[in-house]
Amino acid sequence: MNEPLLRELVPAVIGILVRRGASFAAAEDAVQEALVEAWRVWPDDPPRDPKGWLVTVAWRRFLDAARAEGARRRREEEVAETAPVGEIRAGADVDDTLQLYVLCAHPSLTPASAVALTLRAVGGLTTRQIAQAYLVPEATMAQRISRAKRTVAGVRFDQPGDVATVLRVLYLVFNEGYSGDVDLSAEAIRLTRQLARHTSHEEVAGLLALMLLHHARRPARTTADGRLVPLAEQDRALWDTRTIAEGVEILQAALARDRLGEFQAQAAIAALHADARRAEETDWVQIVEWYDELVALTGSPVARLNRAVAVGEADGARAGLAALRELDPALPRHAAVAAYLHERAGEEATAARLYVEAARSAPNVPERDHLTRQAARLNARLRS
Amino acid sequence: MAKYLLLKHYRGAPAAVNNVPMDQWEPDEVDAHMQYMRDFANRLRETGEYVDGQALAPEGMFVRYDGEGRPPVTDGPFAETKDLIAGWMIIDVDTYDRAIELAGELSAAPGAGGKPIHEWLELRPFYGVTATATATE
């Protein structure tokens, strides 16, 4: 059975149920049940019209649920009253899938809830899969999703929304990486690709390009035993050149429209890295220029920190350290950047001390271990 | 089966025999240590004795309720003297003796000079279970 195809149908099917008068929450539940049914039945008996099959089964489940609550008449009246079946369809060319993305990323939701709801209602993942991916018990994830659905219960499905909030949610999913059976980065790419088919927003293209360019380098980023490999030391033969080419193409088309945004700027930086066949060939001067754009767009301290690294490469470690001095030392990874630049400046003892400090404040175990190794490497050199 | 918590300390446990901070090891000694830890966990996964393992960042603080309408009081960062947990592993084993055996193995992880650290690990039984062999024999 083609799982991605099946999951791709989910947003549209939810949209159809909502147009027929189901609430978003009820429609989403019904489609989730239809999905489970599809998993069971399709392998032996694949439908000729998968989408039609899902709509039929989901609608039946919705009606069953409405009856089971003993509120059949009330619901039907409600449906009859509010049923926008013809109305919406006639009145507006609303894109159900797009609306679903916007609803699931609604600003009233916490980031964790928006992520969970998006993965279920737009991504068609089961609660169990989402729970596994985020390393929480299934019951916890189920509760998070049902609370999220209650939170957006009053939001009209056809309200215009901000695509930027959607992109933030998708980027969060992407950065979660992969643990367990679900590759959240790949899922985020699938969802962003799908979104890009429904809107021509440049930043959607920018985010898609950014994800592809990062994802293409993933095989080189860690060793088989989970060790981090710094960019300069990565085996670039492991980079996925086809994915890089796709990312670059999408990015160029977006940039050509001259409406720059933060994701396009980040993607441009990733593209410049991906473009260098050897680390020494990296065009750091251009990368610094893109960081300038990114800082101008976002004012983000993290962008400034990364810019200091790029300045260190483009203009020398001293210049990088000067750029770093303007930043708050409490920034995450500040000590790691300082350690790196001090080593480049030939100050190994300072660098070793800073690597130890950076390891203490590392945000995750692979980074902590990497920074500890850097400290050990410098200390060993200082001893000899 | 009975569950046990193996607690590793940043500080607060008696000093290890081979007590050298990791940044003072040779780089390949660091790698050997990481590999030993991974192999240990993988072996327990294979024997069906592994439940969970997590690492904790060294920073943190104490927090307590300070009364109606007031924000909680915080006390941190921790004093240098505070017992500080670095991480844990939960194992589910047949006997108390097996738990001790495994804790001993974990404590033998190689450190500076490639020699075992002999680190003191805290071994804590979970409530609600009895170690079958030692309790009934």
Q: Which residue segments constitute the domains of chain A, with CATH numbers given?
A: 1-92 (no CATH), 94-186 (1.10.10)
- Interface check for B57 against chain A (CB to CB < 8 A): the answer is yes
CA within 13 Å, CB half, B91: 28
pLDDT of residue B132: 59
pLDDT of residue B129: 53
Q: Which residues make beta-bridge pairs with B75?
A: B62
**Average pLDDT value for residue range A94-102:** 86
Instruction: Compute the nearest-CA separation of A358 from chain B (Å).
Output: 12
In this prediction, the residues of chain B whose per-residue pLDDT falls under 70 are 129-137
Greater confidence (A133 vs A80) lies with A133
How far apart are alpha carbons A36 and A125 in whole angstroms? 10
Q: Which segment of A68-77, A125-134, A337-346 scores lowest on mean pLDDT?
A: A68-77
Q: Which segment of A87-91, A181-185, A339-343, B9-13 scores lowest on mean pLDDT?
A: A87-91
pLDDT of residue A2: 72
Q: How many helices (H) and strands (E) does chain A have?
A: 22, 2
CB-CB neighbors (< 8 A) of A355 in chain B? 23
**Average pLDDT value for residue range A123-133:** 92
pLDDT of residue A90: 32
CB-CB neighbors (< 8 A) of B38 in chain A? 225-226
Encode burial over B48-61: b for 16+ CB neighbours within 10 A, e otherwise: ebbbebeeeebeee
CB distance A369–B34 less than 8 Å? Answer: yes
Instruction: Compute the nearest-CA separation of B26 from chain A (Å).
Output: 6
pLDDT digits (tens, 9 = 90+) for A36-92: 899 899 999 989 999 999 999 999 999 999 888 776 556 555 655 554 433 333 334
- Residue A371 pLDDT greater than 70, yes or no: yes
Q: Which of B29, B55, B58 sits opposite A360 (nearest CB)?
A: B58
- Residue A140 pLDDT greater than 50, yes or no: yes
How far apart are alpha carbons A354 and A331 in whole angstroms? 14
Q: What residue in B sits closest to A360 (Cα-Cα)?
A: B58
ipTM entry: 0.88
How far apart are alpha carbons A225 and A7 in whole angstroms? 32
- Interface check for A365 against chain B (CB to CB < 8 A): the answer is yes
How many CB pairs below 8 A link A and B?
41
Q: How confident is the model at residue A376 (pLDDT cuts 50, 70, 90)?
A: very high
CA nearest to B132, candidates B95, B79, B87: B95
Strand runs labelled E in chain A: 178-179, 182-183
pLDDT of residue A83: 43
Terminal Cα distance for chain A, rounded: 60
Q: Which of A359, A368, A376 sits opposite B27 (nearest CB)?
A: A376
CA nearest to A307, candidates A316, A295, A315: A295
- Residue A167's CB: how many other CB atoms inside 10 A? 24
The CATH superfamily holding the domain B2-136 is Dimeric alpha+beta barrel (3.30.70.1060)
Q: Which residues make beta-bridge pairs with B8?
A: B87
Q: What residue in A sits closest to B36 (Cα-Cα)?
A: A225
pLDDT of residue A155: 85
* Side chain identity, residue B93: V
Q: Which residues make beta-bridge pairs with B17?
A: none
* Side chain identity, residue A283: D
CB-CB neighbors (< 8 A) of B27 in chain A? 373, 376-377, 380
pLDDT of residue A84: 43
CB-CB neighbors (< 8 A) of A226 in chain B? 38
**Average pLDDT value for residue range A131-144:** 93
- Interface check for B54 against chain A (CB to CB < 8 A): the answer is no
- Interface check for B59 against chain A (CB to CB < 8 A): the answer is yes
